[in-house]
Structure 1
Amino acid sequence: MAGLRPGEVVAEGLKDPDGPRLRVIGRIRTPWGPDDCPRNMGTARQRGGRFVVELDPDLGPALEGLAVGQPVILLYWMDRARRDLLRQSPRHIEGTRGTFALRSPNRPNSIGVATVVITALDPGDATLGIDAIDCYDDTPLIDIKPWTERADLPPGRDG
């Protein structure tokens, strides 16, 4: 595990949590590794590449109703992130912030969320092509949800 930056705070009780178990439903395939992964979706989209969601083959029928061009929300497990930081000192801001005020992968439950656009769909192969994502290759996928304007835009925001 990486060392702490100035101002960062660790919760000792979160170093080895034992909680609810999630089922990994597939893997996210990206061109990124620890040394070259973009830090946000905007940069991932600018850099481009091949991005594929590979589901457990038994889950292909669960893709029914999705379509190319549709936005979906991916929930994934950032399995190589720290899980014990309460305050962090990100490189892109001055000072520290609480973990819940950041999109950092380092959090008590390292769940990542990304809204992506489906570029290819093959229920028979249980795969989705997506426009981009900012996670390491072979990241475990825990859920896919359709993005809908009615449900996902905060009140008072235009689509």
Structure 2
Amino acid sequence: MAEVIHFYSVTDDYGWCSNFAPYPIEARGKTWPTTEHYFQAQKFQDAKDQEEIRRANSPMLAARMGRDRKRKLRRDWESVKVAVMREALQAKFTQHEDLARLLQATGDAKLVEHTENDDYWGDGGDGSGGNMLGRLLMELRESSRKA
């Protein structure tokens, strides 16, 4: 049975896996404070909404702003959100060599975002969730080995 690595809080041993971890990325011609800022901003087509989220002073605030349905969600969001997350993670792990090394150091472990707050990106707290964030991290780890 492969080792399982749970992550969620940025203060945990594997907190660098979290989208809230303080690693800025360059994407679409701008610097984003965290992958969470980038991901949440991409939910909207309005440049003003995107910029407000980019400037949010914490990833938690960016996440809250991204969930605010007073802002107009882009119509194709459900079909592009995984690609947007993949793009954010690709930027994070190619722009921060230390993180790329840490990701490779996880070997063949199963990476799981362990939280009951999310059963799509996380495991739902009981393992029943989709763990899409963990899956994308493992996919990135694998593809960077082949590169």
- Please tell me the TM-score bracket, short chain as reference: under 0.3
Higher relative contact order, chain-length normalized (CA < 8 Å, sep 6+): 1
From the two aligned structures, give the one with the greater helix fraction. Answer: 2
TM-score by length of 1: 0.24
TM-score by length of 2: 0.25
Q: Which structure: larger Rg?
A: 1
From the two aligned structures, give the one with the greater strand fraction. Answer: 1
